[in-house]
Structure formats: structure tokens, C-alpha cells
Amino acid sequence: MAKEDRGFASMDRAKQREIASKGGKAAHQKGTAHEWTSEEARDAGRKGGIASHQRRREQMGSNTSEPAELSSEATGEPVAGGGTE
């Protein structure tokens, strides 16, 4: 058996999914699986949005002097003098 033909990554997607599913089910049965609270999920989504928008700005070459963490877009705060979209 060639080295490339071994391991999880070389399996077809359906087989990988089947094995991963078994692991997830076992973790839930054992009680060690992580279950997201709505607050954790919201925070993770916010961080992902910040990273995505920051990468987009960098790719477009329009980096601003204002860090993404402080921008109104990242914090969800309304812009002064601006209306709702």
C-alpha cells in the first residue's frame, strides 16, 4: 500500500463523514462534546465576521487607519449621524 493511500485524508468524503459522525455521537454519549451556548455562538460569528471583513479590506488594498475591532461595522454600533440601512 502506497503512503498516499493511507489515512483519513485519502478516504472519500462519504467515508470521512461517516467516521467523524461516529466520533461526534460517541463524544455526546460520553458527555465530553462541546455544546455551544447562544452567547458563545454569537461571539464566534462576530469574530468570524471581523476576520472576513478585515481580509476583504486587505485584499482590496483599502486598509484604513481604524482597526477592525474599533470600527462601527465590527462593533455593530450605529454610525453617528447615520440612519438605518
Reported as a single tens digit per residue, the pLDDT across 3-15 is 777 888 899 999 9
Which run of H or E residues covers position 58?
Answer: helix 38-60
Where do the domains of the chain lie? 11-59
Task: Give me the DSSP letters along 5-27.
Answer: G-SGGGS-HHHHHHHHHHHHHHH
What is the C-alpha separation between 27 and 31, in angstroms, rounded?
6
What is the C-alpha separation between 65 and 53, in angstroms, rounded?
15
**Contact by Cβ (8 Å): 77, 57:** no
Reported as a single tens digit per residue, the pLDDT across 26-72 is 999 999 988 889 999 999 999 999 999 988 888 887 555 555 555 55
